[in-house]
Amino acid sequence: MRVCCALRLTSAFTTSYVETQSQTDYEANINTCLDEGFDIIVTVGFLIYDAAIAAAKANPDVYFIGVDQFPAETAPNFVGIQFREDQAGYLAGVMAALMSESGKVGGVYGIDIPPVRKFRNGFEQGAKSVNPDIETFGVYIPDFLAPQLGAEAADAMVSEEGVDVVFGAGGPTGSGGIVHAARDWRMGHRRRSGRVHHNLRQR
């Protein structure tokens, strides 16, 4: 939607979006878009892939774009888009090491799958490129839609390990860790409100 607005294409295209609250809603949400007559549907996250590829096969006249999806099988009207997760993680790690005063940084990650591992590896290597002696901590959580678990993981790293910068990669789970750390960021004996840097953008 933002791209259409930036390109001044709002008069030529009708756009809409649906926020999924549960994995069980994937198929229904895609069907809602189909029922409304959209001929290009973008799905985000690897967990929605099965529902997206099934819908693509059942609706050959509709184009599907799968963001962060690495399909084992595909269809003529389906394309998966992937990113260099390790490079994004590396830049975040560099920034984390530059910000850290304790020499300890941590990451809250979603399900332990290749793209998430790339985020973690990049983050830790980026941090060590700035400070070879920096300590890195990380935890995988087997759910991408669990912000509370992400918050609890971040709290444990901050309060028990002395981490003072938290990185998140893994949808709402990772974001939960970031937001929690920003609300209650401890550095040594001082306490101050933190700043949220999500995907290298300040919110």
CATH number of the 2-81 domain: 3.40.50.2300
142-160: pLDDT as tens digits: 988 889 999 999 999 999 9
DSSP annotation string for 108-142: EE-S-SHHHHHHHHHHHHHHHHH-TT-EEEEEE-S
Predicted TM-score of the model (pTM): 0.69
Closest CA to 19 of 50, 53, 55, 48: 48
pLDDT beneath 50: ranges in the chain: 186-203
Give CA–CA dist 106/167, Å, rounded: 6
2-81 and 85-202 agree in CATH topology? yes
Reduced to 3 states, what is the DSSP secondary structure of residue 27?
Answer: helix
- pLDDT of 12: 64
| 191: its two tokens | 């306490």
CATH number of the 85-202 domain: 3.40.50.2300
- pLDDT of 185: 52
